[in-house]
Amino acid sequence: MSPVAPGPSGRAAAPEPVAIASPGPPSRRRWAAVGREALGAAVALALSVIALGHVMATDRVALLWYDGDSVLLPLVERSLRLGQPFEWAMSPALFFFPELPVYLLCSLVTATPQQALALNGVLVLLAVYALVRAAANELMPAARRSARITVSALALGFVTAIVLTEYTATATSLELGSLLLTTTYYYGALLAMLGTAVLVLRAVRTGRASVTVLVVTGLVAACTTASNPLYVPWSAGPVVVTLVLLSVARRVPWRPTVGMSGVLVAGSVVGYLLRIPLAPFVSLDPSTYVHPEQAGRTLAFFAALTDDRAGSARGDAELLLLFAGVVLAVGGTVWAWRVRTARTVLVATVLPLVTVVAVSVGVVVAGSQTPRYLEPIVTVPLLALVAVAELVRSAVRRTRVHRPRRGVQLAVALAAAVVLVGGVAVAPGTVGAVAAARYAPSACLDRWADGRQVTGVGQFWTVRPLAAYASDDVELLQVRDDFQTYPWLVDLGAYRDAEPTFVVIGANDVWTTAVEDSLGAPASITHCTGFDVYDYAGTVGASVLQRDVVGSADAIRRERGF
């Protein structure tokens, strides 16, 4: 070996880097990378189809397609298609970003609301995979591409496993995983939470937040907060707390902390300011959901829900999976802190821990008895899963200098094959069921209408799925039990100059005064499964309906400034 020549300073200069033979031409490596990414995407698609197929095979399909909340975006799309004035009375979550545009795109390439909702659900799970895959790039930069893809697919498999434990038709249980498949249970805020985490990891890894990262982070914060203020306690708040704590502990530089925290705060403030001109669309102020005096009742409520969920094998499995996600965050934080690993890994373990604590404590302090506000405990641990995978990989590399055993590679390949085969096996039945899905009660209403242009009224849980799936000739308006307009997740523009002539009475509806006592005897009564149609066309009852329903809607519109 030839001696190393001294450098200008008199010290031995570093040797020239040794060129390592490339495993193949660039085009071959590029196509190999594309092939691996395509395989990962195929596994993610298979997992998404398996999750959707399970939901469709259980009572939970009612929550996906026919729940009063779930049909909101189909109703919005129908209203837009019919050219009605856009005067919607929404909840504090407006669903303008990204839920509405995504659903409208889905509806353009599908034939029925069921198909659009199913496609939307699959796209959400694929988006979860894509965001976790992006996080893996930041957390595992030295790992092989195949390792990053495998961990990302494993993360989506974790979500799918949770979905497979859920089977009831209610949204008020601790069955949180399958809510991701719905369009109105806050998937937009959850995806924004993962996307924000990826941007934060990029800034922390590079030691500075680039202009692009800052602009994208600000836009995500502003648009998501304007549409759904849950983004602030779910994402922006925990991120700022995590970065500040780690910077105070000298584990993360202050530069990315200041930049990302500043843009998150500014973006959230802009989002709240954007809600001012959007105020006419908001039915309730978010503060009406906060009841600190009920914190004790909230604890008892969730304790009871946990006991109920623990009463079955599937419930026990879900609780175990949710607990495992928290353990990953806690254990990963301790491990990352002790070994002084890459700062991105530490952020990816501490952030889920802070988020879970913030969300859990926040729900109790707010006195809320709404389980879906705990949804982040399903998705945010995915970051910890990837971080722990990087910790394991680094530990293995420190103790072994040779490549991983072929047995590990074979196990990964077999697992991918099983998932792909499962997806292929489930796909035909799932696709066929989606294509053939029809809402039988709306068919009965359409037969009664017989092609006539008619308008009727009814209560929330009964008329909403009928309104979403009935033919365009049938218009249904939402009323309270006293025939006053119920301005909740409805287009008040549909009430303008409406002429309601029939009442839909569900089997479980309760009216302040019996319908016939309020409107008189109907001209006819038609019985359908789950509801009756009281036809008041040509009677005094029709005039009473128009006076009470349309008149109250006019007053509400004026009050809202439409």
Dmax of the chain from CA atoms? 108
CA angle 227, 232, 236 (to 5 degrees): 120
Instruction: Render pLDDT for 267-280 as a digit per residue (tens, 0 to 9).
Output: 999 999 999 999 99
Angle, vertex CA 174, rays to CA 117 and CA 428, nearest 5: 35
Give yes or no for a contact between 227 and 188, defined as CB atoms under 8 angstroms apart. Answer: yes
HEC assignment per residue over 385-421: HHHHHHHHHHHHHHHCCCCCCHHHHHHHHHHHHHHHH
Phi, psi of 534 (to 5 degrees): -100, 115
**Nearest to residue 488, comparing CAs of 61, 62, 75?**
75
pLDDT in tens, 332-376: 999 999 998 899 999 999 999 999 999 999 999 999 999 999 999
Instruction: Please report the pLDDT score of residue 404 as a whole number.
Output: 56
**Interval 101-125 mean pLDDT:** 98
- Note the pTM of the prediction, 2 decimals: 0.93
pLDDT tens-digit readout, 206-236: 999 999 999 999 999 999 999 999 999 999 9
pLDDT score of 10 more than 50: no
Q: How far lies 363's CA from each of 171, 296, 419, 483, in Å?
A: 16, 11, 36, 34
The 8-class DSSP code of residue 479 comes to B
What is the C-alpha end-to-end distance of the chain, expressed in Å? 85
Tell me: the pLDDT tens digits for 500-556?
999 999 999 999 999 999 999 999 999 999 999 999 999 999 999 999 999 999 999
